[in-house]
């Protein structure tokens, strides 16, 4: 039986993990490869790195950091940020990443999803998207809209339509981040995740809002999401308590959620 | 002294396999031509992408014959990973591809009406006893839409369940193969890779 995945998410600036609230006010946490190694030894299932300033600084993704991480952790990891074309994807894969996450760039140029899937396989392309509740309208029938560029710019696109289209173009996984819940530590947007999971047949990764083990349990019990992005609860110095991966998995297993290494 | 070669084609994830072999304290070289396979004690064929693309890459590198010679006749120890396992069979539904045919059987797609395709994540594998003894049952990392159906059940080394039972690992003589990614399966995967690298002769 396939287990539910816990994915630790790192926002990277200059090779170091940082932590923001609502996409702002980043504080420094640790060097990326060191924190990755700590999480690996604690038996995280997967890692994702976002080079959060690559796009705005119009530069390529931080390949040296990707390489350093690849030498230390032997679980899948995804990189995103600053990916503009197939060459960028190939560089990141060659450096040891398993998958590439595309977000704002895919909204501007959806063909990058199809091209990436054709060149490297669907399993290498994760469509990541930032979603906000905006109310139901003719243009946004689900009431959930896609935002880009650090969740600052509205696109006028319906989130469910977008992930369906992305999966159709060849994305092997879809990661949906709730802008409303991100950084609030109030739990995942379960309504959004249920709608997203029903909209696509590829695996859904839920993101935004995890603050306690109960939030993970609610996600996996009440939706079909296959994986959960967690970050603050693992390592943010702003949190009153950080959880180990082992603690989280033990709690999930005790509550009937299938996980690796409980 | 082991002489390990990792076949490197552009769509594959040879660098990740190299990192894992390095981490285990072994030395390996990439093989990109038929000549690069000569003298190898262990050959690893990583796999990412499609069966058709992998077969095409091997042909373009002029490696198909040399690989078959090394593995089937010289009995060089061989480990195929993911698509590197699938192409050992006669045929794959993926792109209706004619494969190497070292093992009897075919490769078919998961039933998308029953399970999400691709299978992506950690799944528990049950192993049969073989030259390694009993490998502990553990979770390994899978990414696959297709899976092998060996004609000879004696070739099946490990099984897992996704909608229904499927073949997760193969062993026949000097040929080992895993549908999961040993190089991305944490300590369980590294442990299995080490057992393979520690083998000294094929054909047992």
SS3 B29: strand
Other beta carbons within 10 angstroms of residue A250's beta carbon come to 15
User: Catalytic positions of B, please?
Assistant: 82, 181, 183
CA gap A63, A66 in Å, rounded: 5
Nearest to A75 among B50, B123, B186 (CB): B186
CB contact under 8 A, B120 and A203: yes
- Chain A nearest-CA distance from B94, in A, is 12
User: B101, B203, B80, B89: which is closest to B150 by C-alpha?
Assistant: B89
Structure tokens at A249: 């998995």
Q: Which helix (H) or strand (E) holds A40?
A: helix A32-41
The pLDDT value recorded for residue B49 is 74
CA gap B29, B193 in Å, rounded: 16
Structure tokens at B5: 């070669």
CA gap A256, A31 in Å, rounded: 35
The residue ranges of chain A whose pLDDT is under 50 are: none
Does A43 contact chain B (CB < 8 Å)?
yes
Does A98 contact chain B (CB < 8 Å)?
yes
CB contact under 8 A, A74 and B184: yes
Residue B7, beta-bridge partner list: B31
Does A211 contact chain B (CB < 8 Å)?
no
Residue of A nearest to B49 (CA): A121
Exposure string for B84-103, b = 16+ CB within 10 A, e = fewer: bbbbbbbbbebeebebbebb
CA gap A93, A91 in Å, rounded: 6
The pLDDT value recorded for residue B53 is 86
| Residue B104 reports pLDDT greater than 70 | yes
CA gap A229, A232 in Å, rounded: 10
pLDDT tens digit string along B66-93? 999 999 999 999 999 999 999 999 999 9
The pLDDT value recorded for residue A240 is 86
Report yes or no: A140 and A82 within 8 Å, Cβ to Cβ. no
Count interface pairs A-B at CB distance under 8 A: 92
CA gap A83, A103 in Å, rounded: 9
CB contact under 8 A, B184 and A3: no
Report yes or no: B157 and B192 within 8 Å, Cβ to Cβ. no
Contact list in A for residue B13 (CB cut-off 8 A) is: 93, 98
Average pLDDT over every residue of B120-143: 91
pLDDT tens digit string along A223-260? 999 999 999 999 998 888 999 999 999 999 999 999 99
Contact list in B for residue A197 (CB cut-off 8 A) is: none
Q: Which helix (H) or strand (E) holds A49?
A: strand A46-51
- Chain B nearest-CA distance from A73, in A, is 8
Which of the given ranges, A48-62, B42-56, B172-186, has the highest pLDDT on average?
Answer: B172-186
SS3 B157: strand
CA A216 from chain centre, in angstroms, equals 15
SS3 B25: coil
Contact list in A for residue B122 (CB cut-off 8 A) is: 2-3, 5, 45, 260
Report yes or no: B71 and B78 within 8 Å, Cβ to Cβ. yes
| Banded model confidence at residue B141, pLDDT cuts 50, 70, 90 | very high
The pLDDT value recorded for residue B204 is 40
The pLDDT value recorded for residue A13 is 87
Report yes or no: B89 and B150 within 8 Å, Cβ to Cβ. yes
Q: Which helix (H) or strand (E) holds A253?
A: helix A245-254
The pLDDT value recorded for residue A21 is 63
Cβ within 8 Å of A, B 115-174: 116-124, 139, 141-143, 145, 161-162
Structure tokens at B50: 């499609």
Residue A100, beta-bridge partner list: A79, A125
The pLDDT value recorded for residue B202 is 58
The pLDDT value recorded for residue B203 is 43
ipTM of this predicted structure? 0.91
Report yes or no: A228 and A7 within 8 Å, Cβ to Cβ. yes
Does A42 contact chain B (CB < 8 Å)?
no
| Banded model confidence at residue B112, pLDDT cuts 50, 70, 90 | confident
CB contact under 8 A, B139 and A260: yes
What stretches of B75-168 show up as alpha helix (H) in DSSP? 83-86
CA gap B183, B192 in Å, rounded: 9
Q: What are phi and psi of B54, to 5 degrees?
A: -70, -45
pLDDT tens digit string along B114-131? 998 889 999 999 999 887
Nearest to A74 among B23, B112, B124 (CB): B23
CA gap A210, A215 in Å, rounded: 6
Q: Which residue has the tokens 């989130």?
A: A159
SS3 B195: helix
Q: Are strands B97-98 and B156-162 parallel, antiparallel or unpaired?
A: unpaired
Contact list in A for residue B161 (CB cut-off 8 A) is: 1
User: A11, A37, A12: which is closest to A183 by C-alpha?
Assistant: A11
For testing the chain A interface, which of B30, B120, B164 should be mutated: the one with the most A CBs within 10 Å?
A: B120
Distances (CA, A) of B177 to A84, A112, B148, B173: 35, 33, 11, 11
Q: Is the pTM for the entire model greater than 0.90? A: yes
Cβ within 8 Å of A, B 29-88: 48-50
Nearest to A3 among B48, B139, B190 (CB): B139
Contacts of A145 (CB under 8 A, 6+ apart): A131, A132, A134, A154, A155, A156, A157, A158, A159
CB contact under 8 A, A120 and B48: yes
Contacts of B199 (CB under 8 A, 6+ apart): B42, B77, B131
């Amino acid at each position: 039986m396939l287990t539910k995945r816990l994915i630790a998410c790192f926002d990277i600036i200059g090779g170091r993990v940082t932590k923001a609230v609502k996409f702002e006010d980043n504080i420094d946490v640790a060097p990326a490869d060191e924190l990755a190694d700590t999480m690996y030894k604690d038996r995280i299932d997967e890692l994702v790195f976002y080079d959060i300033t690559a796009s705005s600084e119009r530069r390529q993704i931080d390949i040296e950091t990707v390489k350093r991480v690849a030498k230390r952790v032997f679980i899948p990891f995804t990189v995103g940020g600053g990916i503009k074309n197939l060459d960028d994807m190939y560089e990141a894969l060659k450096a040891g990443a398993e998958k590439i996450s595309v977000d704002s760039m895919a909204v501007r140029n959806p063909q990058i999803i199809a091209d990436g899937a054709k060149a490297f396989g669907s399993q290498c392309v994760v469509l990541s998207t930032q979603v906000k509740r905006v109310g139901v309208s003719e243009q946004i029938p689900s009431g959930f809209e896609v935002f880009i560029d650090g969740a600052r710019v509205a696109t006028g696109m319906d989130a469910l339509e977008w992930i369906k289209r992305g999966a159709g173009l060849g994305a092997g996984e879809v990661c949906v981040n709730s802008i409303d819940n991100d950084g609030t530590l109030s739990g995942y947007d379960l309504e959004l995740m249920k709608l997203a999971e029903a909209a696509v047949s590829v695996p859904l990764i839920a993101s935004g809002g995890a603050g306690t083990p109960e939030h993970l349990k609610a996600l996996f019990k009440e939706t079909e999401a296959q994986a959960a992005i967690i970050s603050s609860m693992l390592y943010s110095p702003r949190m009153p308590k950080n959880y180990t991966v082992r603690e989280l998995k033990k709690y999930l297993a005790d509550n009937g959620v299938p996980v690796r290494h409980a | 002294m082991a002489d390990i070669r990792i076949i490197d084609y552009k769509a594959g994830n040879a660098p990740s396999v190299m990192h894992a072999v390095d981490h285990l304290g072994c030395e390996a070289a990439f093989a990109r031509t038929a000549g690069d396979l000569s003298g190898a004690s262990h050959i690893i064929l990583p796999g990412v992408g499609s069966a058709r693309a992998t077969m095409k890459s091997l042909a373009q590198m002029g490696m198909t014959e040399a690989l078959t010679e090394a593995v089937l006749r010289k009995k060089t120890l061989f480990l195929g990973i993911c698509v590197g396992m699938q192409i050992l069979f006669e045929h794959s539904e993926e792109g209706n591809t004619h494969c190497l045919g070292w093992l009897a059987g075919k490769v078919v797609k998961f039933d998308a009406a029953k399970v999400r395709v691709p299978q992506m994540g950690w799944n528990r594998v049950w192993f049969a006893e073989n030259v390694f003894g009993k490998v502990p049952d553990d979770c390994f990392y899978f990414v696959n839409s297709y899976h092998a159906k060996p004609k000879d059940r004696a070739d099946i080394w490990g099984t897992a369940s996704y909608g229904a039972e499927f073949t997760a690992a193969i062993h026949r003589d000097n040929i080992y193969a895993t549908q999961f990614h040993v190089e991305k399966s944490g300590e369980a995967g590294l442990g299995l890779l080490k057992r393979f690298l520690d083998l000294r002769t094929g054909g047992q």
